[in-house]
Structure 1
Amino acid sequence: MRRLPVNSPAPNQSARHLAGASVAHDSAWKHVSGQARYIDDMPEPEGLLHAAVGHSAQAHARILSMDLEAVRSAPGVVAVVTADDVPGHIDIGPVFPGDSVLASGLVEHVGQPIFAVAATSHEAARKAARLARVEYEPLPARITIEQALAAQLFVRPSKTHLRGDPDAVLGQSEYRLQGSHHIGGQEHFYLEGQACLVEPTEDQGAFVHTSSQHPSEVQKLVAEVLGLPIHEVQAEVRRMGGGFGGKETQAAPLACVAALLVRATGRPVKYRLARADDMIQTGKRHDFLNQWDVSFNAAGEITAADISVSGRCGHSPDLSDAIVDRAMFHVDNAYFLPAARVTGHRCKTHTVSNTAFRGFGGPQGMMVSEQVMEDIARQLGKDPLDIRKANLYRPGRDTTQYGQTIEQHILPDLIEQLEKTSDYRQRRQAIRRFNAGSPVLKKGLALTPVKFGISFTAKHLNQAGALVHIYTDGSIHVNHGGTEMGQGLYIKVAQVVATAFQVDLSRVKVSATRTDKVPNTSPTAASSGSDLNGMAALDACEKILSGLVAFGAEHWKVPAEDIHFADNQVHLGDTAVDFADFVQAAYMHRVSLSSSGFYATPRIHFDHERGQGHPFLYYANGAACSEVIVDTLTGEYRVLRTDILHDVGRSLNPEIDRGQIEGGFIQGMGWLTMEELVYSDQGQLMTTGPATYKIPAVSDTPPDFRVDLLADSPNREATVFHSKAVGEPPLMLGISVWCALRDAAASITDYRYSPPLNAPATPEEVLRAVTASELWLASAMEVADE
């Protein structure tokens, strides 16, 4: 049988838009024309009700009484439910317990749902939910990471990765530095907020239209809350208006609340959060307190490190255990740590439970090593890029602190290439000259790498299923467990299927993700959507191809090895048959034209007790060079230019990948520079909308923005056509902007001092860094005068 092996490049056939071609997003025209249908655009079923919840006004308190009479009697209200009305499970924690669908007796963050309302309109439900009279007994509330650490309050036990004897090396080192910084959280701020529509089905079941990255989890939790077997609930996701991790676990509680109201009323229920409610009630990226003690030699090479990363998890575990794990895995970023201790704390605070966000803890961990590189450079009087290059993983120095060997050293050459194409050295000298003659405006420059592990760190999630049908006209229908949130997963999987059969992409249709078509799916997360679902779809195609080749060999009397698919045809020796005609013939001879497919990521394992293993199938790599200009009187700044070189292996769709890189960089830049979450001392979120929470605008994009894909770099692993993941890694390219801002502030001291700069580096924070540099310079001058 001549078929397309997994580890071969897609052939250059004349069938249109196969894997490797730049093809527009399958819903692009629907997005721009307004025809793309989201949850709130769906035709409303007869008798539709709308949901809202009443939520806690206290960060930590006992509920003494709750009077809901005014809620029940409000105009339009049809039903009100509390925890007492839950027929099944109350706890809907996604991994570990701790999340109640509706709180009862105790509340642990402002915004925690305590009852739910179904009314005849969205406005009526929201107004009614505000009429409850709740009496609380306030309890001590711990809001910050420092408060949680002082009280030793954690949602999960702390963990440590250890290699060698870092204490001994640190104690004997001539060069040593200690430091810490705060890294702020980030609101997902998707265009489509959290939303679902739940319809009743027979046998008290439910059909859930959900905006979720994890429809199988929605299905499971709704079933458990209703006290039903899982097969009585179906969940469907056609598309999301953005996810970024915020809809991996946080979509399920809405579906559970709506399902309870469906059970109470027998009518369909839509539950859509208003923006302010969404920001108050749902989790964000974890903010972190990072601390380190690092030794190094005169060449700037790190010799030992003792690092702790502490994440603000909120009131419950949610996904925090794995998120802090990934922060621990990525504190090294691209750099070898010969002796290291890495400790991760999962801090419990009385704030909303934080959750997945693009990068899943990795970005917060990487910030440690990138600040350390800068600080070593300032202490030794060297260029930060030279210190970064000196510490890169390379042969002989290629094992991570958690025991995984770096098998493909891409970054040294990638960085050398970007250093040349971005004119880093020439611009560094030009910036020095500019700063020397400019007392107010200062420029900064930084080139930073990214090494990001690809796989779920929870091993069991590294699996996927798919379902492929060929119809008798030669058209192909695909369903798989991945969800589409704008990242282009559907079009990539469609290209994989088109390539497998060597037919035009227009023949392939990917339908909405549904739990009754492909069951027990993993979330679309960890940058693994194309890797997992593409391989599962390819497996299904290869099973169908096997049957078709056997049929062709028997029917046309040719050896199987003389049969191949190309250019919308099936070539059977010297005979070429149109693909649709061949499929029709196969159908008439009772040959299966449908198959399921499955894929499980190989070679991954990790011993959490020992903190050692091989948690990632491979690493994605990239680098960015960013230049900024800072007004030292106000702290205001602009990004002037960014150059990016990123490795996506053998790209399935280069333009989709470029879009992911551009968007990821901007989102990462926004996280580190302007997106500031502010809480009151009482745990009340103060930034609840675009008036107070600022995300990057088009005007914040670098006016000179250059993005290139690393050429001739197929993945050595047997991923789908040797491509590489591209969803999360580009976000960390935004670290280059944060480092460039520090570089600009350091120029005030002629690069002899590294000023502190917490993230987000708002103008106020940048001004503090500038002030710290000026004070250091004044002190140094006083010492020199003496």
Structure 2
Amino acid sequence: MDKSAFPDPTFVISGPMHASRRHDSAHKHVTGTADYIDDLPEPSGLLHGALGLSDRAHAEIVGMDLSEVAATPGVVWVFTGKDVPGINDVSSNGSHDEPLLAETKVEFHQQPIFAVIAETRDIARRAARKAKIEYRDLAHWSDIDGALENGGALVTSPMTLSRGEAKSEMANAARRLKGRMRIGGQEHFYLEGQIAMAIPGEDDEVTVWSSTQHPSEIQHIVGHVLNIPSNAVTVNVRRMGGGFGGKETQGNQFAALAAIAAKKLKRSIKFRPDRDEDMAATGKRHDFMVDYEVGFDEEGRIHAVDATYAARCGFSSDLSGPVTDRALFHADSSYFYPHVHLTSKPLKTHTVSNTAFRGFGGPQGMLGAERFIEEIAYAVGKDPLDIRKLNFYGKPGSGRTLTPYHQEVEDSILERIVGELEESADYQARRREIIEFNRDSRYIKKGIALTPVKFGISFTLTAFNQAGALVHVYQDGSIHLNHGGTEMGQGLYTKVAQVLADSFQIDIEHVKITATTTGKVPNTSATAASSGTDLNGMAAYDAARQIKERLVAFAAEKWDVPVSEIAFLPNRVRVGNQEIPFPDFIRQAYFARVQLSAAGFYKTPKIHWDRAAGKGTPFYYYSYGASCTEVSIDTLTGEYLIDRTDILHDVGRSLNPAIDIGQVEGAFVQGMGWLTTEELWWDAKGRLRTHAPSTYKIPLASDRPKIFNVKLAEWSENAEHTIGRSKAVGEPPFMLAISVLEALSMAVASVADYKVCPRLDAPATPERVLMAVERMKAVG
């Protein structure tokens, strides 16, 4: 068949795509009418679950008396790991190192040991506290230093990236420096906490509603713990109240517990931990410690880099391998290293197992690279921005395009992005004014920084780069859309609906977006790695393409016209010299017995990765951006204000500029929180003490930059064949917040007349800023 009627989806320019449209649930979010799992009508006879948690960081379980728990009025069942019908494990990677319920040993404070099922949530939670558990305490450590002091046990295999001769060439560099940077973790703090509800079916069937980014993994885990096949488990997700990576694997436990109890008691079960339990018992962003040596010339051009990235991973492997791998993938940030040797060190600690978080290790790797640049700038007495531009990846043919993992950077727009922002933010003039201000101001000091972003897009596990979609066109011309992506507030459902509406040239209001379910689209990948729109948008387009091919063939035969004379126009179809309203056209196709349903599929091309060799093309393309931030600090208290931020970010040809700008703004503020106020702290007994809003400070609306200018690079277009030539927007803008830390560093450095690099660790809380100021006073 002539394919001319089916244009390449990367070149679609009309219709609903590329238009600013509100999030499909925006009005529901602000009015409180959006249904989350805890808002769904509760099935008759619903029971509630609660966790029984350990109060030791590392200990053997010597004895367990749960008789008082079970005897509590209203308690229906109490179960332990011995009651799991299948495998007592919820590890996401098949390593079998993460028990659903600890049986003989606990390895972090607040690790689940048993579960209580009761008539109400309050009864279950109160009963859980009546357990009498006898422990034999074991040695524990909760941070990177403790892990290293006790042998540095690894939770998963490390990775090395190498190119050139970093160690020998380091000696040939004109100048060298060594340093260490500590980078803190971060709590996801999604507004909707972890939750799952399981409803038993007949035979071995069970249906689970879960707040998860990975429905297929929940399906597999529930199957494993119940010892039933995946086809007996259906997982549904309409929306999440935030995820940020915290619901990629961490929902496994709650869904598995609910499903076990539902099948055992033949009643519906809901698990919803409160915020304290959620924060204590679920994983977070990995803390990192970067030890580095950098060789460079007198101009500040990098010659060699040798660095080790140690991470606090927690008691089990979870996603620590891929996260620490991704840190190395972004340890170059935007810069070419002629000679480089990078090693990850994923360390086991007696803390909750850390997990995915927006950026997935990339922010930590990138932050280390910006420290290298900052150190060099102070060493040679230059503006860090000059050192950044000097070390950018070059154009093809420059000999400066090969990454540490041996992928060519062929699409760099770093110079244009940074150059345009430098001009529009009036960076040079403002920096001169700030230096003059600092010279005359005794207590208040200012800083400014402009930092770039280069972020690779794709799952580094090649198999995850696939997606499916199911599209039904009904007789009245309305369309039903289902795909494997999950909606957590990021606007994925809206964007994919725009793709489908554009494909058929109908109003988006005629496209019904339905809950993600494993019963319609199987074997889905997690909605993560910023790939949700890339993958699911193309899968939906593929389904539409199949249906349109059938419709065109039907029209060509019925009206005896060539394919070239058939076109989909806004809400109608032109066939020869007549135009038929879309619903009428579809109804005629139905009566002609045209199949009006299709399953679409997409897999990302070109990518491949050999982890053992440390070589390949793990990313389909790169997203770019730049941010310029100005801050003021009080040198007497360490307090600071974010005065102004200007951002220019690359999303290719935006599918929805309004949603994309919102993603950039939100990612920046979340990144700002990671680098400034959000601090995780464990005490000497291994207890997380920052486990509630009262002790853990996320950014408020009042913390955002007082002047906040955000623009998309409207001239950008993805060189690769993505949907609408767009680029990912979920994770890349998170790293724009690095400009905040760099600006704070400049303000601190002014105390010593910019003589030395302040080496400001993250998060740069007011206390850390104040201590850094005092160190600078000693230097000055």
Structure 1 length as normaliser, TM-score?
0.98
Structure 1 runs (4+) greater than 6 angstroms displaced: none
Question: Does residue 1:467 correspond to 2:466, yes or no?
Answer: no
How far the C-alpha of 1:4 sits from its partner, in A, is 4.7
Superposition map of 1:262-277 within 5 A: 262-277=262-277
Q: Aligned pair 1:6/2:8, yes or no?
A: yes
> Which residue number corresponds to residue 557 of structure 2?
554
| Within-5 A mapping of 1:332-481 | 332-395=332-395, 396=398, 397-481=400-484
Distance 2:199 2:192 in 1: 21
Classify the secondary structure of the residue corresponding to 1:752. Answer: coil
SS of equivalent to 2:342: strand
1:50 aligns with 2:48: yes
CA-CA distance at 1:2 after TM superposition: 4.0
User: 574, 577, 593: which one pairs with 2:577?
Assistant: 574
What residue number does 2:202 align with?
A: 202
- 2:742 maps to a residue whose letter is C
Equivalent in the alignment of 2:142: 143
CA RMSD of aligned residues (A): 0.9
- Residue 509 of structure 2 is matched in structure 1 by 506
Q: Given the alignment of the two structures, is residue 587 of structure 1 paired with residue 590 of structure 2, yes or no?
A: yes
Q: Distance in 2 between matches of 1:756 and 1:771?
A: 13
CA contact (8 A) 2:9 2:541 kept: no
| Aligned CA distance change for structure 1 residues 701 and 3 (closer, same or farther; 3 Å) | farther
Could you tell me how far apart the structure 1 residues matched to 2:512 and 2:474 are?
Answer: 11
Structure 1: distance between partners of 2:264 and 2:123? 18
CA shift for structure 1 position 168:
1.4
Q: Quick one: which of 611, 615, 628 aligns to 1:612?
A: 615
- Residue 494 of structure 2 corresponds to 491
Query: 5+ residue gaps in structure 1?
Result: 778-786
What is the identity, as a one-letter code, of the residue corresponding to 1:45? Answer: P
Cα drift, residue 3 of structure 1? 3.5
Deviation at 1:142, TM superposition (A): 1.9
Q: CA deviation at 1:7?
A: 4.9
> How far does residue 756 in structure 1 lie from its aligned partner after superposition?
2.1
Partners of 2:623 and 2:251 in 1: CA distance: 28
Partner of 1:780: none
- 2:562 & 2:10 partners in 1: Cα distance? 23
Distance 1:754 1:423 in 2: 24
Q: Structure 2 CA distance, aligned partners of 1:118 and 1:450?
A: 48
Q: Distance in 2 between matches of 1:322 and 1:12?
A: 39
Q: Deviations over 1:461-487 (max 9, x none)?
A: 000000000001100000000000000
**What amino acid sits opposite 2:564 in the alignment?**
E
The residue identity in structure 2 corresponding to 1:734 is: A
CA shift, 1:681, in A, is 1.8
For the 8 Å contact 1:117–1:261, the answer to whether it is kept is no
| Offset of residue 9 of structure 1 | 3.0
How far apart in 2 are the matches of 1:104 and 1:386?
Answer: 57
Q: Which runs of structure 2 are paired with 1:67-466 in the superposition (5 Å)?
A: 67-95=65-93, 96-150=95-149, 151-395=151-395, 396=398, 397-466=400-469
Assess if the C-alpha contact under 8 Å between 2:607 and 2:619 holds in 1. yes
Partner SS state of residue 259, structure 1? helix
Cα deviation, 1:132-159, whole Å, max 9, x if unaligned, reads: 0000001111211122223121101222
Provide the secondary structure at the position in 1 that maps to 2:305.
strand
What amino acid maps onto 1:84 in structure 2? K
Which residue identity does 1:114 align to in structure 2? I
C-alpha separation in 1, matches of 2:207 and 2:617: 39
> Does structure 1 conserve the Cα–Cα contact (< 8 Å) formed by 2:664 and 2:734?
yes
* SS at 1:413 equivalent: helix
Deviation at 1:55, TM superposition (A): 1.1
User: 1:457 corresponds to which letter in structure 2?
Assistant: T
Q: What is the distance in 2 between the residues matched to 1:515 and 1:538?
A: 20
- 2:719 maps to 716
Structure 2 counterpart SS, 1:609: coil
- Separation in 2 of the partners of 1:561 and 1:100? 60
Q: Give the corresponding residue for 1:685.
A: 688
Most deviating of 653-662 and 745-754:
745-754
Cα contact 1:6–1:720 (8 A) shared by 2 = no
* Identical columns (%): 54
Provide the secondary structure at the position in 1 that maps to 2:155.
strand
Assess if the C-alpha contact under 8 Å between 1:2 and 1:563 holds in 2.
no
| 1-structure distance, mates of 2:5, 2:424 | 40
Contact 1:198 1:258 in 2 (8 A): yes
**For residues 218 and 291 of structure 1, do their structure 2 counterparts lie closer, same or farther at Cα, with a shift above 3 Å needed?**
same
User: What's the offset of the Cα at 1:561?
Assistant: 1.5
SS at match of 2:88: coil
Deviation digits for residues 605-635 of structure 1 (CA, Å, limit 9, x no counterpart)? 1111111111000011000000000000100
The one-letter amino acid paired with 1:290 is V
Which string of whole-angstrom CA distances, capped at 9 and with x for unpartnered residues, describes residues 69-103 of structure 1? 00000121000111111110112210022111111
Long gaps (5+) in structure 2: none
May I ask how many residue pairs the two structures share in their alignment? 773
C-alpha distance in structure 1 between counterparts of 2:763 and 2:339, whole Å:
30
C-alpha separation in 1, matches of 2:11 and 2:516: 28
Greater mean deviation of Cα atoms: 483-492 or 558-567: 558-567
Q: What amino acid is aligned across from residue 43 of structure 2 in structure 1?
A: P
Structure 1 residue matching 2:185: 3-state secondary structure: coil
Worse-superposed segment, 632-641 or 564-573: 564-573
Contact 1:4 1:10 in 2 (8 A): no
Correspondence for 1:596 among 599, 604, 611: 599
Give 2:738's aligned residue: 735
Residue type matched to 1:664 in 2?
Answer: A
Paired amino acid for 2:271: Y
Deviation at 1:265, TM superposition (A): 1.3
1:531 aligns to 2:560 (yes or no): no
Counterpart-to-counterpart distance in 1, 2:8 and 2:207: 36
Contact kept, 8 Å, 1:493 with 1:533, in 2: the verdict is yes
Measure, in 2, the Cα distance between the counterparts of 1:299 and 1:577: 68
SS at match of 1:335: coil
| 2:758 aligned partner, one-letter code | P
1:545 corresponds to: 548
Displacement of 1:174: 2.2
CA contact (8 A) 2:5 2:563 kept: no
User: Residue 664 of structure 2 aligns with which residue?
Assistant: 661
TM-score normalised by the chain length of structure 2: 0.98
Kept in 2: contact 1:377–1:387 (CA 8 A):
yes
Distance 2:411 2:731 in 1: 20
CA contact (8 A) 2:653 2:726 kept: yes
Is this contact kept in 2: 1:474–1:580, CA < 8 A?
Answer: yes
8 Å CA contact retained: 1:378, 1:751: yes
Deviation at 1:6, TM superposition (A): 3.2
Query: Over residues 685-730 of structure 1, what are the superposed CA-to-partner deviations in whole Å (9 max), with x where a residue is unaligned?
Result: 0011111000000000111000000022110100001100000011
Letter in structure 1 aligned against 2:303 = T
Contact 2:667 2:733 in 1 (8 A): yes
Amino acid at match of 2:723: V
Contact 1:119 1:125 in 2 (8 A): yes
Paired with 2:558 and 2:403, the residues of 1 have a C-alpha distance of: 56
- For the residues of structure 2 that align with 1:182 and 1:377, how far apart are their CA atoms? 20
Q: Does 2:765 align with 1:767?
A: no
Q: 2:640 & 2:8 partners in 1: Cα distance? A: 48
In 1, are the aligned partners of 2:425 and 2:646 still within 8 Å (CA)?
A: yes
Separation of aligned partners in 2, 1:320 and 1:669: 23
Q: Specify the alignment match of 1:783 in structure 2.
A: none
Contact 2:10–2:723 (CA under 8 A) maintained in structure 1: no
**Aligned AA (1:312):** R
Deviation at 1:8, TM superposition (A): 3.9
For 1:480 and 1:768, the matched residues in 2 are separated by 51
